[in-house]
Amino acid sequence: MLSSVRAALGLSLTCISALSLISPAWFQTPTFSFGILTYCSWPQGDSWNQSCMTFSSLEDIPDFAWKVSAVMLLGSWLLLAFNSIFLLSWAVAPKGLCPRGSSGPMPGVQAVAATAMIVGLLVFPIGLASPFVKEVCEASSMYHGGKCQLGWGYIIAILSAVLVSLLPIISWPHTTKVQGRTIIFSSATERIILVPEMNK
């Protein structure tokens, strides 16, 4: 049961991360918004009539820090997607095929994905000093949006990074010591393993 919950959480966070990556609303003005991979413009007061473009390759992305951020965030998303599919297959596999006594197949991959996501989110605002962003946001600089406001896409990406960084923590096995023995709680519905301590 616990592995199914972890799989559902991982899959949900992968979808939320994908939504934030394709969102053009990381930073916005009343007539323009941009995200890590897309940007949109519209006439003043008519936000329903948007014209959006996607950066089709790394060469199209206007700033080096922005490119680094895109690579880190896309890499972390690929790791999350791979891990989620693996967790899902591990959760639905028969018990004899995949032992359930461990914390899951790959909490290390989740930790690497969380680290890459956080680094990508910290590097992205350096790109606010690029000529592309300065033209739109006017007085922007590194870590300062100028006339651009923080949009919902970047906030969702930050929340997703926080939740992804918590996912490996709930995946580690919980242990406690009682009268010279270590008790490992493998899950709520399975068994408790008593491991005697060896004195050195």
Structure tokens at 94: 């028969």
Amino acid occupying residue 188? A
Distance CA 186, CA 176 (A): 12
Nearest to 40 by CA among 26, 61, 57, 59: 26
200 pLDDT more than 60: no
Return the SS3 of 23: coil
122 pLDDT more than 90: yes
Higher pLDDT, 6 or 133: 133
Q: Are 82 and 109 in contact (CB under 8 A)?
A: yes
Structure tokens at 80: 């999350």
- What's the pTM? 0.75
Q: What is the mean pLDDT of residues 31-60?
A: 86
Q: What is the mean pLDDT of residues 22-37?
A: 89
pLDDT bin (cut points 50, 70, 90) of residue 154 is very high
10: left (phi over 0), alpha (psi -120 to 50) or beta: alpha
1-95+104-171: which CATH architecture? Up-down Bundle (1.20)
